[in-house]
Amino acid sequence: MLGLSDKFLSNRKLESLVENQTSYTLNNAALHVFETHRQAERVLLKFDQPVLASMVEGKKIMHLRDYESFDFLPGESLVLPSNETMCIDFPEAMRKKPTRCLALAISEDKINKVLQLMNESMPKHDRSEWGLMDYNFHFVNDMGIFQILQRLLFLFTENHPSKDFFVDNMLRELIIRILQTNERKIYSNSTLQLSSNSRLATVIRYIREHLHEPLNVEDLSSKACLSPSHFYRVFKTELGISPIEFINNERIKLAVGLLQDKKRSIKNVYLECGFESRSYFNRVFKARQHLSPSDYQAKAQSEPL
């Protein structure tokens, strides 16, 4: 799984139990490792450059300006603009089970150079130009992004005279992959933009809190006080995907994090995510992650670098 090596953990200084920060700075980027060892609420964090935050262990609840709060789990990343304030809760952090997260701050100059390269070498099918990535883009890491993040974690902490060069090459690939992922929209982030008192926001919260239970359009529509057909149309219009697609996306998002725990069996994972059969779980997972759950688990559980 994406993780911190024993060498890192033994060498870093633990000076705070809430968002203890270990940082490594290079020419075009800085890598920050944050660790929280006790429960906390409303912790504020901000960077002066665009940042990719990626969860390693534990759970955060993110509160972003003008967006619905959401759980931030292992296997997920979030792209934020410079000077965007994050307000973070740590509902489960403890000394023996800390919450850990990477924050990779990337210079806008580096991002712009990659965008120029993409527009010159790999134009979009619709001939529109690549632009700065959608910010507040919350997504599940695919295996390519997962492996780049693991490699960057190694490179930043390595004592090598050419590591700036190595990191620059990895940053270029990471930015390209994120932009292409953003273009595909692994799962809709429109839910972050729903007002907290909208009918759909209430249903979204219910889905995320009951993923392990049976969920169907009829029951969800009644919670929104709409007929099933009207609910389906409103949901798809607002979020761009059907209710079942959204439910499956959220279940796969949860599964990605659970599969990084080597103690969990595939059966345990798909049942906890609300899938009734392994065959259906395999089919939905592979369609979204391009790997079977067992192959994903084997790759994600490789030893940290």
So what's the pLDDT on residue 140?
77
The answer to the question of residue 15 being in a domain is yes
The answer to the question of residue 1 being in a domain is no
Average of per-residue pLDDT values in the chain: 85
So what's the pLDDT on residue 6?
75
The answer to the question of residue 305 being in a domain is no
175, 212: one domain: no
Query: Whose CA is closest to 90, among 50, 44, 28, 144?
Result: 44
The answer to the question of residue 147 being in a domain is yes
Instruction: Report the alpha-carbon distance of residue 233 to residue 19 in Å, rounded.
Output: 42
Q: Is 99 left (phi over 0), alpha (psi -120 to 50) or beta?
A: beta
175, 256: one domain: no
Instruction: Report the alpha-carbon distance of residue 181 to residue 174 in Å, rounded.
Output: 10
CATH assignment of the domain containing 57 = 2.60.120.280
Q: Using one digit for the tens of pLDDT, what is the confidence trace for 7-62?
A: 777 777 778 899 999 999 999 999 999 999 999 999 999 999 999 999 998 999 99
12, 74: one domain: yes
CB 216 within 8 A of CB 162: no
Q: Using one digit for the tens of pLDDT, what is the confidence trace for 200-216?
A: 778 888 898 899 999 99
Q: What is the DSSP letter of 85?
A: P
So what's the pLDDT on residue 15?
83
197, 291: one domain: yes
Give the per-residue SS3 of 18-83: CCEEEEEECCCEEEEEEEECCCEEEEEECCCCCEEEEEEECCEEEEECCCCCEEECCCEEEEECCC
131, 254: one domain: no
Q: Specify the pairing of strand 86-90 against strand 40-45.
A: antiparallel
So what's the pLDDT on residue 76?
85
Given a cut of 70, whether residue 179 has pLDDT beyond it is yes
Q: Using one digit for the tens of pLDDT, what is the confidence trace for 210-268?
A: 999 999 999 999 988 888 988 888 888 777 788 999 999 889 988 988 887 778 899 99
So what's the pLDDT on residue 189?
46
Could you tell me which residue, 305 or 171, shows the higher pLDDT? 171
Given a cut of 60, whether residue 115 has pLDDT beyond it is yes
**Residue 194 domain boundaries:** 190-300
So what's the pLDDT on residue 162?
94
Residue at a domain's end among 136, 168, 184: 184
Helix, strand, coil % (nearest 5) of the chain? 45, 20, 35
> Which pLDDT band holds residue 3 (cuts at 50, 70, 90)?
low
Other beta carbons within 10 Å of 249 = 18
Given a cut of 90, whether residue 146 has pLDDT beyond it is no
pTM: 0.68
Distances (CA, A) of 196 to 44, 55, 205, 255: 21, 24, 10, 26
151: helix, strand or coil: helix
Residue 75 half-sphere exposure, CB side, CA atoms within 13 Å? 22
155, 296: one domain: no
Element (H, E) at 11: helix 6-11
13, 160: one domain: yes
CATH assignment of the domain containing 279 = 1.10.10.60
